[in-house]
């Protein structure tokens, strides 16, 4: 009975996701594939980030509202370690590490930032942790903006995409000629989805392990964890580091997808997008954020077309409003009819609507 319900949930989720993708083709008679690849690349990157957030909130119960800063840390450290150009004058740095090593350091830096942020904050509970993390993320962003000599400040970083694009396989180029999509973006998208698969493989292993079990126990009751002789603080720090590392990788991919990096990318709104995706997909569910992310990005990128159907003369501002109206409506419907998200377990419902 139970397994039947689970599979029904999965079928429903896959159906609604497929329908979203189908919608892209319906709404765009021309260039649908190009739009779809753009959308799926963003969905992959944000989905990866939401998977990291799920380690924090879904597994360990940590209210992390500073997720954007982990993404930023990963992105900035990686880019600055590779050949790039930065700042007002576009000062060129030609020497640097190979991309694989730079990304490794980027992820490590994000994880370390998670540890650093966690040390003072992790003893706080619930909403207090949320306040500290959102503040820390803003401090990070403003610091990056003001340390112009290192980070390029408001002028950002450019000319780094070649580090990745030089490894682009030939078949993407030839396909792009036939189907008219951006080959560089497709390459980032492929890497994003491969990263998701690898990350999910790792997390699936951890989820069913004693370590994953310990994190869930921390989520349920920290005092009881301590009373059983377990170091709850250390467990929370480990969770913080793992989730931050995953976010760091997604930040790197986001930077490669944009082609140039500015601090404005990592505003709190990014964090809330990732939260919305996680809630949509199902808190605590491993694969949920993937579906959540695709549906979320279809709405974000296709509402313009949808709005034209309803309001023929809508301008840009009205469209933006309509977009968030739809996202809000969807989350409201979800909270009413499926509060555990698309794939979350009802028994492990984390967002109680009271």
> Which residues bind to other proteins, rule: CB under 8 A?
202, 205-206, 209-214, 216-217, 219-221, 223-232, 235, 238, 242, 347-349
Give whichever of 197 and 202 is closer to other proteins, judged by the CB atom. 202
- Min. distance of Cβ 202 from other proteins in angstroms? 7
- Min. distance of Cβ 207 from other proteins in angstroms? 10
- Min. distance of Cβ 235 from other proteins in angstroms? 8
Strands 157-158 and 91-93: unpaired
Sheet holding 91-93, edge to edge: 91-93, 84-86, 157-158
- Min. distance of Cβ 206 from other proteins in angstroms? 6
Sign of CA dihedral 69, 72, 76, 77: positive
Distance, in Å, from the CA atom of 93 to the CA atom of 110, rounded to the nearest integer, reads 23
Give whichever of 173 and 231 is closer to other proteins, judged by the CB atom. 231
Check if the beta carbon of residue 39 is closer than 8 Å to that of residue 71. no
- Min. distance of Cβ 170 from other proteins in angstroms? 35
Checking phi first, is residue 180 left (phi over 0); if not, alpha (psi -120 to 50) or beta?
left
Give whichever of 211 and 272 is closer to other proteins, judged by the CB atom. 211
Give whichever of 148 and 348 is closer to other proteins, judged by the CB atom. 348
Give whichever of 39 and 241 is closer to other proteins, judged by the CB atom. 241
Give whichever of 54 and 238 is closer to other proteins, judged by the CB atom. 238
Checking phi first, is residue 95 left (phi over 0); if not, alpha (psi -120 to 50) or beta?
beta
Give whichever of 133 and 238 is closer to other proteins, judged by the CB atom. 238
Pick the closest to residue 299 from 264, 334, 266 (CA basis). 334
What are the distances in angstroms from CA 76 to CA 58, 251, 259?
27, 9, 13
Structure tokens at 162: 């070649």
Which H helix or E strand runs over 339?
none
Q: Within its chain, how far is the Cα of 331 from the centroid?
A: 18
Check if the beta carbon of residue 110 is closer than 8 Å to that of residue 251. yes
Reduce the DSSP state of residue 98 to 3 states and report it: coil
List residues bridging with 86 in a β-sheet: 91, 157
- Min. distance of Cβ 239 from other proteins in angstroms? 10
- Min. distance of Cβ 197 from other proteins in angstroms? 16
């Amino acid at each position: 009975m139970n397994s039947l319900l689970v599979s029904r949930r999965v079928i429903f989720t896959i159906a609604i996701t497929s329908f979203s993708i189908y919608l892209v083709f319906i709404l765009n008679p021309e260039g649908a594939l190009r739009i779809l690849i753009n959308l799926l690349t963003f969905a992959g990157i944000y989905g990866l980030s939401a998977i990291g957030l799920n380690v924090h909130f879904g597994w360990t119960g940590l209210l992390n509202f500073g997720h954007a800063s982990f993404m930023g840390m990963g992105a900035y450290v990686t880019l600055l370690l590779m050949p790039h150009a930065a700042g007002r004058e576009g000062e060129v740095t030609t020497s640097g590490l190979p991309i694989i090593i730079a990304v490794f350091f980027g992820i490590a830096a994000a994880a370390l930032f998670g540890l650093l942020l966690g040390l003072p904050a992790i003893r706080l509970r619930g909403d207090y942790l949320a306040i500290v993390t959102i503040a820390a993320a803003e401090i990070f962003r403003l610091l990056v903006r003001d340390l112009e000599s290192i980070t390029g400040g408001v002028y950002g970083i450019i000319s780094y995409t070649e580090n990745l694009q030089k490894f682009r396989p030939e078949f993407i180029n030839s396909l792009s000629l036939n189907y008219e999509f951006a080959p560089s973006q497709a390459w980032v998208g492929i890497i994003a989805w491969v990263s998701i698969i690898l990350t999910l493989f790792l997390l699936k292993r951890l989820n069913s392990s004693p370590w994953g079990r310990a994190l869930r126990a921390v989520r349920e009751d920290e005092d009881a964890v301590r009373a059983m002789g377990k170091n709850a603080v250390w467990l929370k720090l480990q969770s913080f580091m793992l989730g931050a590392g995953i976010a760091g990788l997604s930040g790197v991919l986001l930077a490669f997808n944009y082609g140039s990096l500015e601090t404005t990318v990592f505003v709190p709104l990014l964090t809330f997008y990732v939260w919305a995706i996680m809630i949509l997909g199902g808190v605590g569910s491993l694969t949920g954020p993937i579906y959540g992310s695709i549906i979320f990005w279809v709405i974000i990128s296709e509402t313009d077309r949808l709005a034209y159907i309803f309001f023929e003369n809508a301008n840009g501002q009205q469209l933006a409003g309509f977009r968030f109206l739809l996202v809000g409506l969807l989350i409201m419907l979800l909270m009413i009819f499926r509060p555990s998200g698309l794939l979350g377990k009802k028994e492990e419902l984390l967002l109680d609507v009271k």
